[in-house]
């Protein structure tokens, strides 16, 4: 092969290896952070947040706003 093509292939391999390594490290760091957050936040606090329900008046207002927005955009 010509030296210029060989140098291009070598540069491509180094670049792809660098991106692969970075993404692999990023995946493991994200998994580690997820486990740390799950360990730090007590389960009862997460359950309490889940139990809180929305006010029916708020739900009705949001539903009406979405419906009006969709109707206004469809009529254009």
Find where tokens 């309490």 sit.
Answer: 48
- pLDDT tens digits, the chain, 76 residues: what are they? 799 999 999 999 999 999 999 999 999 999 999 999 888 877 766 666 666 677 788 889 999 999 999 888 877 6
Closest CA to 46 of 54, 35, 38: 38
Cα 44–46–38 angle (5° rounding)?
95
CA distance 36 to 30: 10
Tokens of 49: 């947040």
CA distance 12 to 18: 10
pTM of the model: 0.53
């Amino acid at each position: 092969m010509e030296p210029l093509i060989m140098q291009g292939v070598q540069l491509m391999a180094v670049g792809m290896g660098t991106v692969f390594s970075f993404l692999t490290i990023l995946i493991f760091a994200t998994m580690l952070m997820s486990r740390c957050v799950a360990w730090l936040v007590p389960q009862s606090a997460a359950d309490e947040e889940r139990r809180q329900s929305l006010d029916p008046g708020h739900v009705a207002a949001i539903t009406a706003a979405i419906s009006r927005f969709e109707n206004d955009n469809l009529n254009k």
